[in-house]
Amino acid sequence: MAIDQRGPVLPEARGDLSAAIIGYLRADVPPPAAVAATAADRDPYGDDLQLALYVCYELHYRGFAGVDPSYEWDPALLSARRPLEDCFLAALRRDATRHETVDDALAPLLVEPVDGTGVSHFLQERGELWQLGEYAAQRSLYHLKEADPHAWVLPRLWGRAKAGMAAVEFDEYGGGRPERVHAQLFADLMTDLGLDTSYGHYLDAAPAQMLATVNLMSLFGLHRALRGCLVGHFAQVEVTSSPASRRLAAAMRRTGAGPAAEFFYSEHVEADAVHEQVVRREVIGGLLEEEPQLESDVAFGVDATCHIDDRLAGHVLDAWRSNRSSLRVNGRPRSGCFAG
């Protein structure tokens, strides 16, 4: 099988877990099972474990330049990945389980706070162009693959849930028009901000909190047993997207970021308001009509997504309020959008 050279390069390791996984893919160390077996003793949200997990998951997307595609299902790598996933999932169940029902989990998200303190509020009110650039650089790891892990749930649904999910995914993929695929619209936003649009370009710059955001949807998407959690993740994204997108569009407009930068978010204001209704009524409603025992999983998916989003927001805002970069120093991109 030909080895693709077009993917992103393998990242720099951030500890022995990620070094073992990356080294194995470079074929210059033994299988990483012995190192990964110590995952239970590691910080489940830390740089090392999150990067190791991210690299494992990326093999199911576009892979890495120079890495044999057959590693996607390599038994030694899958064995090493399992304890990483177990550690991450156990931490999420411990820290993020807040509700047992979907209605209870979604209720706080359906009411806009009077005095919002999130990242989109900060950017709307006083964000500078370099902060918008940092935000986009980090979020590119998510938005350039935004709809893909959600598509994995389609063969695991049927009836109303499958039809509703497919309808929303069709919109995410541009309704059949390649220039309207949401990942392409985000790449256009990045161009306006002077960023490199190459897939995975900002991986080394992204902190653990951003890696966890991407890893969460990959974890839920790759496991049939977690299909309810993925639906919950999808619901949280769609419910919170429209109001946040309105604020981010305003931030792009206020700072003169560019028409494509503003359009990405203004497009999501109306589209995701519609998607929210489809997800709540058809996807969640259809799933629980067929499999009511999955309700607590859907609620957990909502809660876990909120938890991980809150961790990322806390990291970013702590840095910006101190006039520091939210990106990792060793991987910080060089661009006119970023503070020096």
Indicate whether 104 and 62 sit together in one domain.
no
- Residue 63 lies in domain: 16-95
**Alpha-carbon gap, residue 121 to 26, rounded angstroms:** 42
Q: Which of 205, 158, 146, 154 is nearest to 325 (CA)?
A: 205
Q: Are 335 and 194 in contact (CB under 8 A)?
A: yes
Give the pLDDT confidence score for residue 101 in this predicted structure.
96
Model confidence pLDDT, tens digit, residues 299-329: 999 999 999 999 999 999 999 999 999 999 6
Residue 5 counted as domain residue: no
Backbone φ and ψ of 318, nearest 5°: -60, -40
Residue 166 counted as domain residue: yes
- What separation in angstroms does the CA of 32 have from each of 18, 41, 120, 127, 319? 9, 16, 39, 42, 34
Residue 218 counted as domain residue: yes
Backbone φ and ψ of 262, nearest 5°: -70, -40
Whichever domain contains 116, its CATH number is 1.20.910.10
Indicate whether 75 and 143 sit together in one domain.
no
Residue 6 counted as domain residue: no
Residue 326 counted as domain residue: yes
Residue 29 counted as domain residue: yes
Indicate whether 129 and 236 sit together in one domain.
yes
Indicate whether 74 and 115 sit together in one domain.
no
Indicate whether 108 and 63 sit together in one domain.
no
pLDDT, the chain, mean? 91
Indicate whether 81 and 113 sit together in one domain.
no
Last residue in a domain, options 75, 95, 115: 95
Residue 2 counted as domain residue: no
Last residue in a domain, options 95, 116, 149: 95
Q: Which of 162, 186, 152 is nearest to 61 (CA)?
A: 152
Residue 9 counted as domain residue: no
Last residue in a domain, options 66, 95, 124: 95
Indicate whether 77 and 179 sit together in one domain.
no
Indicate whether 127 and 199 sit together in one domain.
yes
- Dihedral sign, CA of 324, 328, 334, 337? negative
Indicate whether 71 and 113 sit together in one domain.
no
Q: What's the domain count of the chain?
A: 2
Model confidence pLDDT, tens digit, residues 211-261: 999 999 999 999 999 999 999 999 999 988 889 999 999 999 999 999 999
Indicate whether 231 and 186 sit together in one domain.
yes
Ranges of residues in the chain whose predicted pLDDT is under 70: 1-5, 113-115, 271-272, 329-340
| pTM greater than 0.75 (yes/no) | yes
Indicate whether 203 and 163 sit together in one domain.
yes
Indicate whether 34 and 138 sit together in one domain.
no
